[in-house]
Amino acid sequence: MFKLSIALFLLLALPLPASAAPIGDVDSGIVGDSGSGSVVDEVDGSDSGGSGNNDPSIGAPPATPPDTSIILGPDLVTASTAARLVFTSDTPGATFECRLDEREPETCSSPVDYADLPNGQHSFSVGSIDRAGNSDKQPATWTWTVDTTPPDTTITAGPAGMVSGPSMSFAFESTKPGATFTCSLDGAAFAPCVSPTVLAKLGGGIHRWRVAAVSPAGVVDPTPATRVWIVDASGPEVTIRSGPTQGMRTAATSAVFTFAASERGATFQCALDGAMPASCSTRERRSGLTSGPHTFTVFAVDRFGNAGPPATRRWTIVARGR
């Protein structure tokens, strides 16, 4: 026992080699390698002596934001107070955020519907957001105008009262810029028309023309402008009031005729025995007539140039004593 104690004392008293690490440094967490020149940090696993990096977000290109498209919306100008808009994104699974006019943006899905919109211009925008939270930098927009006000129509030129001729021209306008027109003649169905409109081959009698403006939103004037006129397509009738009677035989070598027209203001054209008609008054005298048959013809012409049917008298002058 005494020899064992002396040996243990001598062992503890011997000095340690310079290259040996102290017993207390074994668990320090640092391992040195003079050949590699690198030190590994036990806490984060990084290598302070190398360039390796395991974080994929560092140095990666930025994510592409989604793009939004509106594929259906209201007409540019419409009379409808309701609107439906259909939209899509180029990113599958994206969500959408919509905004109408000055309202607050709200989450939405396609299609989106609006009702009871007031007259005036409206603007809708929509953007998409992908699953990573990236949002469309330029939301899609759609602008339109609601106009429910009917237009008013005015006929600015055209016949009125009593007129002549088979052709008439009408001009008209509307209170709505860009309006189109529909027209109707004598109760026919309304059909598209333009100003001016020429009506041809009109028969004599009363005619009625109606024209209604249609606003760019499609609203029709509920009270079309109307014009009524009369086409005088026939001439006045003439009546011979005095002169040789029809078929009479007489020795007189002169004759006096008086006549009148059925229309006030008419003029007259007279002819004897087939000669060229010439202007005449309501009393016509012919003298120095020779023996034999004679024919007097007269017709009236109204203020529109319409000539009426002729009136005639045929008689025979016989020599005295026969």
Q: Where are the domains of the chain?
A: 68-146, 153-231, 238-317
Taking only Cα atoms into account, the Rg of the chain, rounded to an integer number of angstroms, comes to 55
Confidence of residue 22 (pLDDT cuts 50, 70, 90): very low
Cα 206–Cα 207–Cα 212 angle in degrees, nearest 5: 150
> With 60 as the cut, is the pLDDT of residue 34 above it?
no
**Domain 238-317: CATH superfamily, name plus number:** Immunoglobulins (2.60.40.10)
Contact 309, 235 (CB under 8 A): yes
- Which whole number is the average pLDDT over 15-24? 46
Q: What's the pLDDT at 209?
A: 96
Q: What's the pLDDT at 165?
A: 73
DSSP designation for 276? P
User: For residue 144, which of 182, 117, 177 has the smallest C-alpha distance?
Assistant: 117
Question: Does the pTM of the predicted model rise above 0.75?
Answer: no
112-114, strands of its sheet edge to edge:
68-72, 83-89, 112-114
Q: Do 68-146 and 153-231 come out as alike in CATH topology?
A: yes
Instruction: Summarize pLDDT for 155-212 with one digit per residue, the tens.
Output: 999 998 888 777 889 999 999 999 999 999 999 999 999 999 999 988 888 999 999 9
Domain 68-146: assigned CATH number: 2.60.40.10
Helix, coil or strand: residue 246: coil
Q: What is the mean pLDDT of the chain?
A: 84
> With 60 as the cut, is the pLDDT of residue 5 above it?
no
Instruction: Summarize pLDDT for 62-119 with one digit per residue, the tens.
Output: 678 999 999 999 999 999 999 999 999 999 999 999 999 999 999 999 999 999 999 9
Confidence of residue 54 (pLDDT cuts 50, 70, 90): low
| CATH 2.60.40.10 matches 153-231 | yes
CA–CA separation, 17 and 152 (whole Å):
115
Q: What's the pLDDT at 166?
A: 79
Cα 309–Cα 313–Cα 318 angle in degrees, nearest 5: 160
Q: What's the pLDDT at 320?
A: 75
Burial 88-122 (b: 16+ CB within 10 A, else e): bbebeebbbbbbbeeeeeeebebebebeebeeeeb
